[in-house]
Amino acid sequence: MGHIYFIGGVGKPGEFGGEASKNKEIVRILSEQGYDVTVIDTLNSSKNYLRLLSLAWFIFSAALFHPRATIIFSTSFGNIYPFIKLFHALGLKRNIIYWAIGGVFSQWVLDGKFDRKYLTVIRRFIVEGDKMKRELAQAGFMDVIVVPNFKTIPRIQYPDKYNDGKIHFYFISRVIPQKGVPAILECARILNEKPGYRNRFEIDIFGPIEPSYKEDFLSKIKSLDNVSYKGQLNLIDPENYKTIARYH
């Protein structure tokens, strides 16, 4: 099987999050399929200039000294855009795949945030939805594969659902405004003001809180006695699936 240089946020075995969890799955599956995978981990590198320099060296070493290898970028496109521009400037033609994280990359391309001429160095795009594929086609990129976001779910003995007469909801992600957390809290506030609704549902929120949002978030849930912050839930641990399996 061929050699793959996989460039994206992977992190240590105990680290998790949207990008890291997805990339761990991709690397694991590629390795199980027999590919020789070299991981160049970009997690938390944007604020470390020495790490960025070392990453640049690894990336261009892969491109220069292993021209037949496949290079997979799997991170926010803004993180790798400078490298893509440099590949274009140097005229390096390599088997480059961009595996998009999240759902906004194609819209950014249409909006002109990224110059399309530089993206021509990418041989193939892998995106999470059909809408992204259509938008990239509008931008002139036709070699696009749709692979929805995925996660390996362990086989466990699932517990019974909550059975206290209430509907139990959970939210699990980074706790930031962009994920819709303010809308959830506002919905809870509106429903709680309606007679008879306060005791009909519970909302538990899991995930790391964005530091800039922490004070506002915690102050709002103090006034909502049926909304609770439950800390982080590491889904690398199969036992934690039993926690979320109890919710409706």
**Whole-number pLDDT of residue 230:** 96
Phi-psi domain of 140 (left: phi exceeds 0; alpha: psi -120 through 50; beta: other):
left
pTM of the predicted model as reported, rounded to 2 decimal places:
0.76
46 has a pLDDT exceeding 80 = no
Whether the Cβ atoms of residue 21 and residue 235 lie closer than 8 Å to each other: yes
- Over residues 54-89, the pLDDT tens digits come to 777 777 777 777 888 899 999 989 888 988 998 898
Instruction: Quote the strand ranges of 9-50, DSSP E.
Output: 36-41
* CATH architecture under which domain 167-245 falls: 3-Layer(aba) Sandwich (3.40)
- Over residues 183-235, the pLDDT tens digits come to 999 999 999 999 989 889 999 999 989 999 999 999 999 999 999 999 998 87
Look at 219 and 40; give whichever has higher pLDDT.
Answer: 219
Closest CA to 63 of 42, 34, 84, 36: 84
Please tell me the distance from the alpha carbon of residue 37 to that of residue 63, in angstroms, as a whole number: 15
DSSP state letter for 129: S
Residue 51's pLDDT band (cuts 50, 70, 90)? low
- At a CB cut-off of 8 Å and minimum separation 6, what does 143 contact? 123, 124, 125
Mean pLDDT (whole number) for 164-176? 95
Residue 33's pLDDT band (cuts 50, 70, 90)? very high
- Domain boundaries along the sequence of the chain: 3-146, 167-245
The yes-or-no answer to whether 3-146 and 167-245 have a common fold is: yes
CATH 3.40.50.2000 fits 3-146, yes or no: yes
Residue 48's pLDDT band (cuts 50, 70, 90)? low
**Whole-number pLDDT of residue 16:** 67
Q: How far is CA 172 from CA 150, 163, 209, 211, in A?
A: 15, 21, 11, 17
**Whole-number pLDDT of residue 185:** 97
Q: Encoding tokens for residue 201?
A: 């549902």
- At a CB cut-off of 8 Å and minimum separation 6, what does 221 contact? 185, 205, 227, 228, 229
Average pLDDT, the chain: 89
Q: Encoding tokens for residue 97?
A: 């795949």
